[in-house]
Amino acid sequence: MSKLLTRRYLDQIKAMFGKEPEKPREISPAAQKIHFYKKNNRDEIGQLKHRRAHEKPSHKWRNRRWAALIFANLLFVLSYQLDIQVLEGALTASRFVGFHMADLNSALQVMLAHKHIITNLLIGTATVLLLWGLLGGRTFCSWVCPYHLVAEWAEKIHLYLAKKKLVTDQPIDRRLRTVFWIVFAALAVVTGYTVFEAISPTGILSRALIYGVGLSLLWVLALLVFEVFFSRRAWCRYACPIGLTYGVVGIVSPVRIVYSLENCFHEGDCRKVCLVPHVLDTVIKGRAVEPEVPLGPDCTRCGLCVDACPTGSLRFNIKGLSRLL
C-alpha cells in the first residue's frame, strides 16, 4: 500500500470507532490526473445519463449473501431438528463437525465475566478469529448474522415509509458503538454477568430459530420498530459491539471491496444503499487518494454497493490473490 493509502486506511480505522472521515490532505498525482480529467467532461455526463437510463438493478451479491446467510442458519436449525449434527449449538458457540467455534464477542464477554478460560473456549475463539480474519471481519455481520437479514427487511419498510414522507431517518452519533463496546466489556468484568449476551439480538434470534421462540424476541422486535420508524439500521450502525469486534478483526483481512476511480460517476448510489457509508467517503468527488482505494475495515462486505454501482467501480477483491483471479 502506498503511503497515502496507509494514511487513509488509518483514518478509516478511526472512522470505525466513530470519527467522521476527513477530506484527504494529499492526493497522488495519478489520482489527481483522473480527478482533473473528470471536471466538466461533457462526454462523461452524457455517458452517465445513458448508463443510468439503461441500468438494470442487479441483486447478484445480495442474493448470494442471503442464500449464504439462510444456509448457515438453516444448518444450525437442521443439525438439531433433523439431528444431522453438522453445526451444533447456536451462533454464540457451536461445533462444526466436532470442531469448536465460539463467537468472538460472546467468548470475550464470558472470559471477562468469568475470568477463567478453558481450552475448548480458547480453541473455539482462535478458530473463529482465524476464519473471519481470512473472510473479512464484518463479513460475519452481513453474511451470517440473522439480525442483519431481518434488519435489512425492516430497512426496506423504513425506506418505503421515508419515500412516502411518513418517517425520516434520525442519525445517531456513531461513537456510541465504541462507548457500548467499552461499557459492556466493563459491565461483564464488574457485574460478573454477561450483560450484553442477555440482549444480543444475534444470540436471541439464533436461539429462537434453533430452540423455539420466546419472550426475548420482544426485544428484537422493539429494535426493529425503532429502526423502521426512527433511525435507519440503528442497531447495526450505532450500537452492536459484535460488529465492532469483527470490524477490528477485519483490519487485517485480505477480503475487501476495492474502489476504482477511473469510471466512477460520483452519483453516490453506493452510499445510499450502504450500511456504513463512512467507508465509502472515498467515492465522493475529489476524495479518492489513489486510482484504486480499498474500503475501510468497518465495511461488512455485503456487496450492496457492488450491485448498486452502474459502472463496476466497486468490486470484491482478495489482497494478493487479485492477479490470480
Partner 1 sequence: MSDDTKAPAAAAAKGGAPVSRERKRQGRRKALRTILLTGGVLGAGLSGYLPLLHARSKRLRPPGALDEKEFLQSCIKCGQCVQVCPVNAIRLADLVDGFGVGTPYIDAREQACDFSCDAVQCILACPTGSLTYHKPDFLPVREGAALPQKPTLIAKMNDPEPTLNMTERMGVARLVRPDSCLAMKGEGFKGQARGPGFEGRMRYAEVDRWKPIGIAEHPYDLPLCDLCMRECPIAGAISLEKFTGPGGRTHARPIVHENCVGCGVCEMICPTEPASITIVPREVWTS
Q: Are the CB atoms for 90 and 181 separated by under 8 Å?
A: no
214 binding partner 1? (CB under 8 A): yes
d(CA 194, CA 214): 19
Residues in region 4-63 near partner 1 by CB under 8 A:
20
Three cell numbers written together for 73: 442458519
Q: Are the CB atoms for 38 and 44 separated by under 8 Å?
A: yes
Nearest alpha carbon to residue 180 among 242, 226, 229, 135: 242
d(CA 255, CA 135): 6
180 binding partner 1? (CB under 8 A): yes
Choose one: 6-14, 56-64, 133-141, 183-191; the region binding partner 1 (CB under 8 A). 183-191
Q: CA geometry: angle at 224 spanning 202 and 92, to 5°?
A: 5
299 binding partner 1? (CB under 8 A): no
Tell the burial category of 150 from Cβ atoms under 10 Å away from its Cβ (0-12, 13-18, 19+): middle
Choose one: 36-44, 92-100, 246-254, 292-300; the region binding partner 1 (CB under 8 A). 92-100
**To 10 degrees, what angle do helices 241-250 and 175-191 make?**
110
> How many other C-beta atoms can be found within 10 angstroms of the C-beta atom of residue 176?
15
Choose one: 32-40, 49-57, 193-201, 311-319; the region binding partner 1 (CB under 8 A). 193-201
Residues in region 122-161 near partner 1 by CB under 8 A:
124
Contact pick of 4, 102, 209, 305 for partner 1 (by CB under 8 A): 102
Contact pick of 12, 94, 253, 282 for partner 1 (by CB under 8 A): 94
298 binding partner 1? (CB under 8 A): no
Q: 129 or 187: whose CB is closer to partner 1?
A: 187
Instruction: For the chain, give percent helix, strand, coil, nearest 5.
Output: 60, 10, 35
Q: The sheet that has 314-318: what strands, in order across it?
A: 292-294, 255-260, 314-318
Contact pick of 15, 34, 121, 257 for partner 1 (by CB under 8 A): 121
Contact pick of 194, 245, 253, 313 for partner 1 (by CB under 8 A): 194
Choose one: 39-47, 134-142, 202-210, 294-302; the region binding partner 1 (CB under 8 A). 202-210
Question: Could you list the residues that contact partner 1 (CB under 8 A)?
Answer: 20, 79-80, 88-90, 92-95, 100, 102-103, 106-107, 110, 113-116, 118, 120-121, 124, 170-173, 176, 179-180, 183-184, 187, 192-199, 203-204, 207, 210-211, 214-216, 218-219, 222, 226, 230-231, 234, 238-239, 268, 271, 277, 284
